[in-house]
Structure 1
Amino acid sequence: MDTGSHLLFGASLAGLAMLQPEVANSPLLAGAVLTATLVGSHAPDFDTVVRLKSYASYIRHHRGVTHSLPALLLWPLAIGGAAAGLFGVWEHVLTLSLWTMAAVIFHVFLDWLNVYGVQCFRPFSKQWHHLDILPLFDPFLFAVHSIGVIAWMTGAAEPGRLFLAVYLLTFAYIGVRAWHHAHTVRLVKKELEIEQGVCHIVPSLWWFHWQFVLETADTFYNGTIRFRDIRVKDVYTKDQTHPAIQATMGTDGVRAFLHFAQRVHVRLTEGQDGYVVHWRDLRFWHNHKLPFGVDVQLDSDLNVVSDRLGWTKKAWDPPYV
């Protein structure tokens, strides 16, 4: 999810920690827990520093090693120990490490629910896993946790029980969204009369509003879902046989893109000076546009002139991944 949401959930986890009497009765320990959960909630995204090298490096490494199974243990040990030393509460280092672990695991879990996905089973698998249940920013979860934090900070409610209710509501909400997602996938396949294709349902900021991509052996179908109204908007056929397309396979941008992308469509445009090959991930289709991919320019002899990998949309424009 987005950075603001992760930090908010770190704060609400610190409120949940008030269920422990030793935390609730010690302002010093409570401050250490808050520090640990805030840092732990953001720590897996420290890998964004690779963006300084190149966007291709970012695609390869973001939500990778720092979100892996070993990281679920290493982050809590490092952050919990640092918080214990900073606040001088070494006798509570286990408590700090466990709450940090909760923050890290919740971060990775939320990223798993997103369309972008996460390589959460490394080192055993480098496959991207995504459940396509929540958008990058979920207004409902943000509102619920914000209300909880405000109530805690203003003294309007006892934090332990308050955030127990908040987290029970959070997981119930995620469960409902998961059921609705699976139900909607079945509706799309039934509407298009395609049972064997791979279908991705991409959530929006609004409940009951989705968009989809359904892939068959030779075709992609993209469209929108508004409640039970399912409409196909674009149809793409598969074709990767042109020599110009094959000539782009060795570029760094295309390799990084194919490492991450799943519903891959490639299109060729020809000009007087050569070709431009457009690689796109159709999961991120929106309103007849394909905003994520890599464009490779070649001369008439199929030599690569340039390539550009990334998004062609504003951060606040859909899709929210």
Structure 2
Amino acid sequence: MDTATHIAMGVGLTAIATQDPAMAGSFAATATTLIAGSLIPDSDTVLKLKDNATYIANHRGITHSIPFTILWPILLSLLVFVFFKHVDVTHVWMWAQLAVFLHVFVDIFNSYGTQALRPITNKWIQLSVINTFDPIIFIILCLGIVIWLFGVHPFVVFFPIIAILFLYYIIRFRMQAMLKRQALKAIQEEHNPVKVFVAPTMKFMEWRIAIQTDQYDYVGRSYGRNIVFSDKTKRESLPSSDFMKYVKDDVNIKTFLNFSSIYRWQATPQEDGSTEIRLIDLRYLKNGHYSFVAIAHLTQDHTIDHSYIGWVFSEEKLQKKLYAH
């Protein structure tokens, strides 16, 4: 989820935690525990300061893993105890553990996903039923916070909200399953689908859809039950080993291959004799442009001249960023 929603979740948990007698003595300690616990797994956002490859490879990776889901509450409890010595550190730890767990748990439901089961597996868990920012969830949480601030008991406010959100998630899973069936019917002349990707947008009735068959890539959107494919491209295998053996170890290409769950590639000769290898994530098509790509320019002597990975929303900006690296 986005930062604003995580904060709203932290405030909601703070409201509930005020009913714990062991936490009731210090609202400041309670709020610090729950809000910080709801945000601390995203501390890896600072990796943006280094480069895109490092950020994409690690964001929601180790900081959302099993060891760190256990470690964050311990560290947070110690910090809270340092500043609020009168608190019950055991209860602080339990509430911090709940906040951190919920942060990691809700993140698996969007398209970016997390490596929540690391070190058991490094696989990205991307259930793709909730948009990174879901306005319905955010509005519901904010309404609950406002009602609580007006003096309504937090149990009366937030327990029904938990039930509503539970039902909302079920509805989103059912919508996704229905759209997968609809999408496969729409391309029924292609008998061997390889991958089907259906993910939400900020609009409740609009979803992103990408399908790979053994022959074509289909990319489009659903509007209600109506599915419109705006891009159909002949599917190609990955570039030949002659290409890949030179670019596969480039940090940007390697990061893309580890992260993207459904993509295609292009190899385009350039005027200077180099070859542009472009990997295109099919999940992010908007206004005719694929915004998440990895590019490597392979020179005639098989060295990488430029490479880049990231989200860019126009070809002009993409080229500027490519040659800036």
TM-score, normalising length from structure 2?
Answer: 0.89
Name the CA distance, whole Å, in 2 between partners of 1:195 and 1:40.
45
Name the CA distance, whole Å, in 2 between partners of 1:297 and 1:123.
34
Alignment of 1:200-239 (within 5 A): 200-236=197-233, 237-239=235-237
Name the CA distance, whole Å, in 2 between partners of 1:298 and 1:147.
53
The letter for the 2-side match of 1:45 is D
Are 1:276 and 2:273 an aligned pair?
no
The letter for the 1-side match of 2:254 is R
Name the CA distance, whole Å, in 1 between partners of 2:232 and 2:59.
31
Other-structure match for 2:196: 199
Are 1:190 and 2:185 an aligned pair?
yes
Residue 173 of structure 2, aligned match among 156, 174, 178: 178
The CA deviation at 1:80 is 2.1
Other-structure match for 2:301: 301
The letter for the 2-side match of 1:279 is L
Other-structure match for 1:319: none
Question: Which has the higher relative contact order, 1 or 2, with Cα contacts under 8 A spaced 6 or more apart?
Answer: 1
TM-score, normalising length from structure 1?
Answer: 0.90
The letter for the 2-side match of 1:265 is R
The CA deviation at 1:39 is 0.6
Other-structure match for 1:17: 17
Name the CA distance, whole Å, in 1 between partners of 2:7 and 2:254.
33
Aligned residues of 1:16 and 1:161 also touching (Cα < 8 A): no
Are 1:250 and 2:249 an aligned pair?
yes
What's the secondary structure of 2:302's corresponding residue? coil
Q: Deviations over 1:236-270 (max 9, x none)?
A: 31143454455322211101111111212111222
Q: Deviations over 1:110-151 (max 9, x none)?
A: 210010111000001001111000111010111111111122
Aligned residues of 2:192 and 2:213 also touching (Cα < 8 A): no
Q: Percent identical across equivalent pairs?
A: 28
Aligned residues of 2:298 and 2:304 also touching (Cα < 8 A): yes
Other-structure match for 1:289: 289
Are 1:113 and 2:109 an aligned pair?
yes
Name the CA distance, whole Å, in 1 between partners of 2:145 and 2:77.
22
Other-structure match for 1:38: 35
Name the CA distance, whole Å, in 1 between partners of 2:250 and 2:12.
44
In structure 1, runs of 5+ residues without a counterpart are: 315-321
Q: Deviations over 1:17-68 (max 9, x none)?
A: 2343444xx341x321211111111111111222222211112111111101
Other-structure match for 2:68: 71
Name the CA distance, whole Å, in 1 between partners of 2:182 and 2:192.
10
Are 1:169 and 2:161 an aligned pair?
no
Name the CA distance, whole Å, in 2 between partners of 1:229 and 1:250.
41
Aligned residues of 1:202 and 1:212 also touching (Cα < 8 A): yes
Name the CA distance, whole Å, in 2 between partners of 1:73 and 1:240.
39
Identify which range, 297-306 or 236-245, moves more after superposition. 236-245
Q: Deviations over 1:267-292 (max 9, x none)?
A: 12222202222111112222332110
In structure 2, runs of 5+ residues without a counterpart are: 315-325
User: C-alpha root-mean-square deviation of aligned residues, in Å?
Assistant: 1.9
Aligned residues of 2:195 and 2:262 also touching (Cα < 8 A): no
The letter for the 2-side match of 1:34 is A
Q: Deviations over 1:157-208 (max 9, x none)?
A: 1223211222222222112112211222122112222574321112011112
Name the CA distance, whole Å, in 2 between partners of 1:43 and 1:173.
26
Name the CA distance, whole Å, in 1 between partners of 2:82 and 2:303.
57
The letter for the 2-side match of 1:192 is I
Aligned residues of 2:18 and 2:30 also touching (Cα < 8 A): no
Paired residue total: 309
Q: Deviations over 1:205-243 (max 9, x none)?
A: 111211101122343211111111112211231143454
Alignment of 1:94-113 (within 5 A): 94-113=90-109
The letter for the 1-side match of 2:137 is L
Residue 136 of structure 1, aligned match among 122, 132, 139: 132
The CA deviation at 1:298 is 2.5
Are 1:240 and 2:267 an aligned pair?
no
Are 1:160 and 2:155 an aligned pair?
yes
